[in-house]
Structures are given as structure tokens and as C-alpha cells.
Amino acid sequence: MAKSRIYQPELECMNPEERKKLQGERLRKTVALVYENVPLYKERMDAKGVKPEDIQTVEDIKLLPFTEKTDLRDTFPFGLLATSKDNIVRIQGSSGTTGKPIVSGYTENDVQVWADMVARAMAAIGAGKDDIVQVCYGYGLFTGGLGAHQGAEEVGAMVVPMSSGNTQRQIMMMQELGSTVLCCTPSYAAYLGESIRDAGLIPKKDIKLKAGLFGAEPWTEGMRQHIEELLGIDACDIYGLTEIAGPGVAFECLEKNGAHINEDHVIAEIIEPVTCEQLPYGESGELVFTTITKTGMPLLRYRTHDICKLYPEVCKCGRTTVRMGRITGRTDDMIIIRGVNVFPSQIETVLVKTKGVEPHYQLIVDRIHNADTLEVKVEMTEEVFALPDSTSEIQKLQKYITEQIKSVVGIQTQVSITAPKSLPRSEGKAKRVIDNRKL
């Protein structure tokens, strides 16, 4: 495997002051584009009394309105496009707060920008022409599979588009083809590592993996060590979100010291989540992105609800981009189960529509053998409880709710129907989610 490289050094190692100027120019163009073409932004800027010409430098970003996931939902599917639909060549999506996914439209330019961002991540872990990149992120609306795929192709690697699941087949292909780079969620990487060990295979001998790009869910330094030991590889973080560009918005180099944000394509801010005031570097707050090169669905000050810190110090690798620390939490109630974003409200929507159960529920999240599990505990009604044959009714309810959740959220859950009034009541905020995962 090649040594770690810098894919676009002229941009990744740019003088930070020069980069700020570039960001300012690109921001000006983006603001003009959305003001002209996206009614939501025109209305919001007008309401704040801000005109496109008020935005001259990066600092002026503070004047701009924020964008929320609900804005994408309310304008679903094409209301935020800044171009005509025929210029959109790809749709990607992820779960929103209701059953409807939120989608983002990408132009040819946007797909290329995204591929370049992932290519930078690939080069940073040393992936290149000689490598075989096994992609076990899901392919489809989720950005993981296609995102990693494009980046690997961009650096000339051989891509194995496995998609997620089927661990035995993943291991067999990895062994037979001699895959050198792995792309998947960190929890799946650990699970694969344990399965490889349990199969009696020896990393570096039977398995040729050297490095991996892991993301789509929060993970820790402890998890990194675990994966590195199990697989004998360098495990690096990759961050992203559908709304901005999927994986590759930020990526770690082999210094493993925070993820480099691709600042020539996005402007990152940290805000205090209640007052929405910008916070200085080094302080923990909510991460906000403005896209400055997208032409399909550019977003101004998109609130990710992810909590982290930003670090401006130049990295030993030579890149001058600001780095983001690990995501330490969220300012909303989104949970990530096996890489899938889940909002308790989606599950609630299913439960309130189901006859025979009350909308009293709890979601118990756990991690068993590195696979996330989600148990949905919900109370049956007094009527069901009083039925002479309540057992068969409970089984029917269990099956029905499991299927409904699967179709709305896209994940398998274990549904437990509990007795009336058996779940804890709260006088304040209901504690709906109990997350027992030790990351």
C-alpha cells in the first residue's frame, strides 16, 4: 500500500488566509445563487433585512439565516433546489424526523466535489492505485456506499462494492481478493474483526487489510484501538451527512488527531445551540455547515445538531484545514442504530396509529457483539390486557409493529408489549431513550 498522500495539496495545504479569501468569494456566489433561486432563502434573508451584497467575507456569514432538517422535510423533495431538476443527476437521502426521508439533489458538479472530498480521505490513509477497497457501507439512498465507492475510484483503486451485511461473504471476498482497505461503520469493523478472529484467520497473513475509513456513527479512541488490534490496521475517522455531501465532509489523516474539514467546499462554524451565537475555536458546541461549491442544493448555515469542537492548529501532516474533534453527542434526540439515523418520533408515529397499544413507550438501545440492538417497549391497552386470549393478540401486535417500524425506519427492532401502566411515567420530559451502549 502506498504511503499517505495529499490528494490536492494546493487546496488542502493552502495558506489559511488565502483560504479565507477563497471561502469569502465562494460564499458570495452561493448566497447570490440561493437568493435568486430558492424561495425559502429569499424569504428568510428578506425577513432579516439581509441582501446578497451584504455578504462580502466569511465573517459576514453570521448575518445569514440557519437551515434545519425540518426545512428539508417541509420542502420535500425539490423545494430547496437552486437549479432546475434536469441538472440533478443523483438523489441521496437519509431518515428525517417522520417517516419521509429527507433527500438532497446533486448536480454533476456536486458529485465530482464529493468524489474529490472522499478521494482526499482515501489518499490520506494511503489508498491508491495498488489498493483493493472493500466497501461495506450500504449502497442506495444512504450516502455511505456510493460515497466511499466514488472516492476509491477517484484515486484509481480497485473497488469491491459489497454493500452491508453477510459477514461470512465479506470475509471470504476479503480473503480471496486480498482487500487492503475497508470502509464501513466502526461497529461493523469491530464485528468483522471479531468474526475474522473467531474463524481462526490471522490479520496481515490471511487478511491483507492495512487501513480503514470508518464513520456514519459516533465512536471513541477505545473503539479505534480495538479495531486496530483486531484487524492489524490503521483505523481513521470519516465524517459527513447527506445534506452536505455524505462521507468526506471531514476525514482523519494518519496523525489520527481530528478530522480535516474540506474547507474549500464548506464553511464550518460552532454555535451555542440555544442562543445560536458563534463560539470560538476549542469550545464545544453545535456544528453548522454552509456549502460553498454545491450547485444542486446549496445550504446556508445547516444545523447538524452534532456536538464537537474545532481545532485550527496546522496538523503535522501539512494540511492547514481546521479539524473537528469527535462527535460527543447531539442537541436533538436522533440516535444512530447500525449506521441508520433514527428519531424516536418516527417510532412514535407508528405506535400512535396502532390500535391495541398506548403511546407509552421506551426505546432501549444496546450493543451486543458490536451490533446495535433496539428494543421497543410499548404498553398494551387495558382492553387487550383483559382479553381472554391476550397472548395471541400480543403476538399479532408484536409482528405488526415490527413490520411497520421496519417499513418506516428501515431497521429491525425487537418489540416487547408490556402490561398497562408498567413503563415509568415522568412529570417532566419523558425519558424515551435508554442507550446502554458503551462506545
The dihedral built from the CA positions of residue 175, 178, 180 and 185, taken in this order, carries a sign that is: negative
Say whether residue 110 binds ligand DLL (CB under 6 A).
Answer: no
Say whether residue 182 binds ligand DLL (CB under 6 A).
Answer: no
Measure CA of the first residue to CA of the last residue in the chain; give whole Å. Answer: 30
The interface region with ligand DLL, picked from 232-240, 349-357, 365-373, 414-422 by CB under 6 A, is 232-240
Site mask for ligand DLL (CB under 6 A), range 123-142, x = bound = --------------x----x
Say whether residue 71 binds ligand DLL (CB under 6 A).
Answer: no
Say whether residue 122 binds ligand DLL (CB under 6 A).
Answer: no
Say whether residue 181 binds ligand DLL (CB under 6 A).
Answer: no
The nearer residue to ligand DLL, 144 or 258, going by C-beta atoms, is 144
CB of 214 to ligand DLL, least distance (A): 7
CB atoms within 10 A of CB 275: 8
Say whether residue 261 binds ligand DLL (CB under 6 A).
Answer: no
Say whether residue 218 binds ligand DLL (CB under 6 A).
Answer: yes
Among 7, 41, 188, 239, binds ligand DLL (CB under 6 A): 239
Say whether residue 215 binds ligand DLL (CB under 6 A).
Answer: yes
Residue 68: all three cell numbers together? 434545519
Say whether residue 143 binds ligand DLL (CB under 6 A).
Answer: yes
Q: Write the DSSP symbol of residue 273.
A: T
CB of 177 to ligand DLL, least distance (A): 22
CB of 411 to ligand DLL, least distance (A): 13
The interface region with ligand DLL, picked from 149-157, 241-249, 264-272, 427-435 by CB under 6 A, is 241-249
Distances (CA, A) of 116 to 67, 92, 113, 395: 25, 17, 5, 50
Positions 319 through 338 that interact with ligand DLL (CB under 6 A)? 327, 336
Strand order in the sheet with 414-418: 414-418, 371-380, 357-368, 433-435
Distances (CA, A) of 202 to 167, 193, 197, 213: 16, 10, 7, 21
| Total residues in contact with ligand DLL, by rule CB under 6 A | 23
Q: Name the residue number minimizing CB distance to ligand DLL.
A: 215
d(CA 273, CA 278): 9
Among 246, 258, 285, 410, binds ligand DLL (CB under 6 A): 246
- The residue whose grid cell reads 474483526 is 193
Q: Confirm if 308 and 281 have CB atoms less than 8 A apart.
A: no
Say what the alpha-carbon torsion angle 44, 46, 52, 56 is, to the nearest 10 degrees: -80
Say what the alpha-carbon torsion angle 306, 71, 412, 344 is, to the nearest 10 degrees: 70
Among 128, 240, 258, 285, binds ligand DLL (CB under 6 A): 240
Nearest to 160 by CA among 190, 137, 189, 185: 137
Give me the residues that bind ligand DLL (CB under 6 A), please: 94, 137, 142-144, 147, 215-218, 237-242, 246-247, 304, 306, 327, 336, 341
